[in-house]
Chains A and B, each alone.
Chain A
Amino acid sequence: MYQAVLTRRYLTSKIMPLLAMAAVTLSVGTVLVTWSVMGGFLEQLVNAGRSLIGDAKITWPNTGFPYSDELIEMLEADDRVEAAAPLIETFGVINLPDDKVQGVQIQGIDPEQFLDVVGDGEGGGGFAESIWWRRIDKPVRLDKDAEDPRLDTLAPLGDSSWEELEQSGLTLTEPDGEAAAMLGVHVSGFNYRTPTGFYRPQPPIQATPDGGIRYLTNVWLPNDEITLHVMPLVAGGRGIDVTTRTIPVANEFFTGLFEIDSKVVMVRLDLLQRMLDMQESERIDPDSPRERFNPETGEIEQLEPRVIGVTPERVTTILIRGAKGVDADNELKPAVEELYAQFAARHPREVPPAGSILIRSWRELNATKIAAVEKETGLVLFVFGLVCFTTVFLVLAIFWSMVSEKTRDIGILRSMGASTAGVAWLWLRYGAIIGLVGGVLGLAMALLIVTNINEIHEWMGQNLGLVIWDPAVYLFVEIPTDLDPKKAGVVVGAAVLTCLLGAAIPAWRAGAMDPVKALRFE
């Protein structure tokens, strides 16, 4: 009991233990912030992709494969699959209204089916919510002056209404029915991201023939058009010819995944199929004669080729969303492999064999990135752990000094019958309390930082010119965090253990003190 009273008194009357506590607080706070950022990064890396490709993906790049509707039907009939959607992925080049030419990754989607797979991603995100130019009711975080153009009742430029813009984005079709493209919000460079986290249209700059420049003040991408160039490929990867098409821009999207927002352009699947020569077409008998000699006229006549069937449309990819509770790696992927094997057996020599097709979960598709982040998290935590381990020696030094200072108190306690274990427990308990209080304060500090980390980062950028989180490097435009209660418990527990370790030797020394010498200590 006396240990509790003395611990309380020592805690409130001594400056040195408060310094030890501050060290624990800083250590716990640092480790937790690091762990939550790295953990959040990993979590977002795993989940963000799912909101764009679902849980797994079947891919046969370049030339693609036919009968995707049949495969999708087979997949969706399985309980482990929630939905599946066809997709074409290819590379291309776009011309922007300011004459800029940019290499992009082009995705052809069937909007309706695509939304079934990624329409409402985990955490309420998903493709539908990634459409950027749509009316919002309340300002985004930190937009204190409500400057976000999306808060206005009218779209920034032109006659389009917000509803039309959103609908165009969802369907990749203009109100007049024309197929349209949707660009990642960073693709064009026509949007300025404000420090508070929204985009404002930024007039593009165009070079003039006289060597000068001019601002295209009336250009706003969703009201303009782009020219798309793609190259259809035949088996073996040889290009046939470049196909070019100028199409309007329906909208722009923002997923938060920088790699996607800065590189991907989406168009309708049927449009991209036509451009890549992957649409449904008649199959011509290669042996049918193309011309014949007419003996009556003495001339060579062109013949209609003999049609022997229909070549079905092709896609390069099927996106799959697993049913709720189905593990993508251990349950969904094997199910998809099994179903694809059945599908391939139905179409021998028409679709890639089961052993060759690429079936990957999101985690596997990003295995290198995810493993790198996991390793980096481990390494960073190890290094920080080592740094924090110095707290053991700090506590040891402070407690050693305090035990020396309190030698006479120890003698007094012993003279009243306090046991060696009791005196040692006083210091161990004191160390544990410092660890616990410091740990809880560190947790509070981490919570405060983690919940405001983007604001703090923005403030540092604005006032100190210090930008640590570069979206181009770290994929996401905002610093992701995930403060797991279990991790917090582990770190606070480690702080208590650290302080107990640091206090152990001084506690042993205090307990082992000769009471007579202690009483005579001056």
Chain B
Amino acid sequence: MPSIVRVQNLHKTYRLGRAKVPVLRGVDLDVEEGEWVGILGQSGSGKSTLLHLVGGLDRPDRESRASIEFDGANLGSMSRADLDRYRSRSVGFVFQFYHLLPEMRVLENVTVGSMIRHGRLGYRGETKHDVEQRAKEVLGVFGLGDRLRHRPNELSGGERQRVAIARALINRPRLLLADEPTGNLDRETGGTIIDAIAELRDRFGLTIVMVTHDQKIADRADRVVRLVDGRVEDAAPAFEG
């Protein structure tokens, strides 16, 4: 299978005042199309940072000559607008704390991703009704068909996370980036969320990169990559920033 995501020599350093704090110290990672990769690591190991970089939310250290490719396209050579387009069309994010928009109802929280993708001039190639219908279908799969008009604060943690996953999938992305999706849920609810993700992967052929610090959850993935101190374990750093 060809790699859909190829990360090479990824370095990322944050500044805390005058101090430089290296978070990623030369990560290499290949993810094949349709593969589910679990990124396992302790807190502060750079898991979320890796996800943000792959999702085009952040850029690697300039001097590191790092490369992040998605389907052969180098994210480093993309303009800001290209990265926005990449995030809206090819990537779906799921966060630990759900990150739903509190003022919007459930249905709106899901369709907002589609609104962003279509832009200010209205839906192109499909109608608002089509988008809402699709959102309702996904929410129906997650058992939230009767919660469309509820606000996030009227839902349980598990329900919120399912809404967040539905939102991530509304634009039919090829890559789902999940950052500790069960980290804020009890084990049982977390299990149902992972089941739902697994089902989606099977149904839509999604490529999944999931960050977790829970070995049991990581074990559900096709492959587990361990991040230790900003490096993929057992991988030699190519560049020291």
Contact = CB atoms under 8 A, between A and B. Distances in A.
B is bound to A: yes
Contacts of A13: 103
Interface string B59-93: 00000000000000000000011001111110001
Contacts, number: 77
Interface of A (DSSP majority class): helix
Interface residues of B, number: 32
B158 interface: no
Interface in A179-209: none
Contacts of A425: 120
Nearest to B83: A417
A420 B122 contact: no
Give the one of A5, A412, A519 with max B CB within 10 A: A412
Interface stretch (B1-9, B108-116, B200-208): B108-116
Contact of A417 (B84, B100, B103, B108): B84
Contact of B84 (A1, A9, A10, A419): A419
A94 to B, nearest CB: 75
Interface string A1-29: 11101100110010000000000000000
Give the one of B57, B80, B117, B123 with max A CB within 10 A: B57
A5 B108 contact: yes
B112 A415 contact: no
B120 A417 contact: no
A9 B102 CA distance: 10
A412 B101 contact: yes
B87 A415 contact: yes
Nearest to B104: A9
B122 A10 contact: no
Nearest to B105: A9
Contacts of B93: 415-416
Contacts of B89: 417
A516 interface: yes
Nearest to B102: A409
Contacts of A516: 52, 57-58
Interface string B116-137: 1111101100000000000000
Contacts of A1: 115, 118-120, 122-123
Contacts of A422: 116, 119-120
The 7 residue pairs across chains A and B that have the minimum distance between CB atoms: A417-B88, A9-B103, A417-B87, A1-B115, A2-B115, A419-B84, A412-B99
Interface of A: 1-3, 5-6, 9-10, 13, 408-409, 411-420, 422, 425, 514-516, 519
11 contacts: A3-B120, A5-B115, A6-B104, A9-B104, A413-B116, A414-B87, A417-B87, A417-B117, A418-B84, A422-B120, A519-B57
